[in-house]
Amino acid sequence: MDQEATGPQAGHDARLVRPGRRAMFRAGMAAGMVALAGRARAEAPAPPADDPWSQTPGPGVVSRVYGHPSHFEKDVIRRNVPFLTATPQSSVSFTPLQSQQGIITASGLFFERYHAGRPTVDPAKHRLMIHGMVEQPRLYAMRDIERFPSISRIHFIECPANGGMEWRAAQLNSLQFTHGMIGCADWTGVKVSTILEEVGIKPEGKWALVEGADGAHMARSIPVSKLLDDCMLVYGQNGEALRPEQGYPLRLLVPGWQGNVNVKWIRRIQIGDQPWFTREETSKYTELMPDGKARGFTWKLYAKSVITFPCPEMPVNAPGLYEIRGFAWSGLGRIKAVDVSIDGGVNWTRARLDGLVLPKAMTRFTLPWRWDGKPALLQSRAIDETGFVQPTITELRAARGVNAIYNNNSIQTWQVKENGSVFDVQLG
């Protein structure tokens, strides 16, 4: 059974999400600091209290066991929406983006999506088979793959169903549930091109079937050109071995393309001359258009962004100076700019891009904001290096209708109320 999906938080209902006390505390910190500064002018602040932790030595080194975050951070966890899927084995848990610091998603918080649960794959027994239209079919053990020249790259993975529940209306009052099917990590592994050069692709080999070793045998068709361009066979994640949730011991990374093609526990790459039209690219992961036809092979993830503070889980408190924070990403390349609006898209201000701005990676943006205590409608709009501008939900519905589940990259609106609480809304 999937622990994450059946643990104590399993009963968490998306419709009932309210900020916890700790979240309220955090959100109020900026305002609190301003208030403190005001008070300091009147009377000198009291020296720090000699709390119990200041009076004795603490426990010794955390050695010979795996280290964990402070237990005060115990609410920063993946969460799932039990009514969303039939079983925890065909489920998804969402990244708590409201608590993500910086562009790297901690491995224990990286969203998970399984079609048949999480297999326990023995790395000593795991094999990657490469066959089909190749000169030299091969069966690789993990130690063979780890021997090849390697690279490390920071990339996001996003399920195209991220935001899929919001096509018709705003119904999940939570950043974690509207946007949490994304994570960004530092991945280490081998370029697929390195291995495909070893086996030699025959000239007619234009497509590849990539298949997982899980019970779902998740299989997708990918053009060989994409595999040779920037795909990786990944065994490292954020400085350690790939996590079981992410496909231990080996996963395919397809930078900038929808999460589904990033096959976990990968065991087979078959080269052919046409796509296979598997279940996951016909009955699933296609988009029903208003004219009744379905769009297929919509792999590319276009520019998207979201404000992570404030958000429903991280409200504001007293009026004063805050920093609006968020993430932007594009499957087409680098983020060029992010604009932020506090009046529902009437006026826009360019945000500051902070830290690393990498292709097909989450990018951090910030903008100072003096909240006057009045209602506000916060939005962010990403623009990538190809010039693509993130659309509004109205524009997206006009283009694709409301039957689509996948690829909702629309601008998110957070409504800030006078009492500081924040709600997921859509502007008509």
203/328 Cα distance (integer angstroms):
39
By CB under 5 A, tell whether 259 contacts Mo ion: yes
By CB under 6 A, tell whether 153 contacts ligand MTE: no
By CB under 5 A, tell whether 260 contacts Mo ion: yes
By CB under 6 A, tell whether 31 contacts ligand MTE: no
Nearest approach in angstroms of CB 161 to Mo ion is 5
Nearest approach in angstroms of CB 109 to ligand MTE is 11
353/338 Cα distance (integer angstroms):
8
Alpha-helical regions (H) of 59-107: none
Partner in contact with 212, chosen from Mo ion, ligand MTE, none, beta carbon below 5 to 8 Å by kind: ligand MTE
By CB under 6 A, tell whether 248 contacts ligand MTE: no
For the segment 261-300, give every residue that binds ligand MTE (CB under 6 A). 262-265
Q: Which stretch binds Mo ion (CB under 5 A): 31-39, 42-50, 125-133, 258-266?
A: 258-266
User: What is the three-class DSSP state of 99?
Assistant: helix
Q: What single-letter amino acid sits at 374? A: K
User: Which secondary structure element, helix H or strand E, spans residue 322, and what is its range?
Assistant: strand 320-329
For the segment 209-228, give every residue that binds ligand MTE (CB under 6 A). 212, 214, 216, 218
Ordered DSSP codes for 275-304: ----GGGTTSS-EE-TTS-EE----BPPPE
154/187 Cα distance (integer angstroms):
6
User: What is the three-class DSSP state of 199?
Assistant: helix
Binder of ligand MTE out of 111, 248, 302, 406 (CB under 6 A) = 111
Largest CA distance in the chain: 81
Identify the residue whose tokens are 């900020």.
19
Binding mask 189-228 for Mo ion (x = CB under 5 A): ----------------------------------------
Q: How many CA atoms lie within 13 A of 137 on its CB side?
A: 10
For the segment 125-184, give every residue that binds Mo ion (CB under 5 A). 159
Asked if residues 181 and 159 have their Cβ atoms less than 8 Å apart, the reply is yes
By CB under 6 A, tell whether 235 contacts ligand MTE: no
Partner in contact with 157, chosen from Mo ion, ligand MTE, none, beta carbon below 5 to 8 Å by kind: ligand MTE
Q: Which stretch binds ligand MTE (CB under 6 A): 111-119, 307-315, 353-361, 384-392?
A: 111-119
Cβ-based nearer residue to ligand MTE, 114 or 140 = 114
Alpha-helical regions (H) of 111-188: 142-147, 175-179
User: Which secondary structure element, helix H or strand E, spans residue 209, and what is its range?
Assistant: strand 207-212
Cβ-based nearer residue to ligand MTE, 183 or 331 = 183
Structure tokens at 70: 């402070």
Total residues contacting ligand MTE (rule CB under 6 A)? Answer: 21
By CB under 6 A, tell whether 157 contacts ligand MTE: yes
288/285 Cα distance (integer angstroms):
10
Binder of Mo ion out of 113, 155, 220, 264 (CB under 5 A) = 113
User: Would you tell me which residues interact with Mo ion (CB under 5 A)?
Assistant: 113, 159, 259-260
User: Would you tell me which residues interact with ligand MTE (CB under 6 A)?
Assistant: 110-115, 157, 159, 183, 212, 214, 216, 218, 245-246, 259-260, 262-265
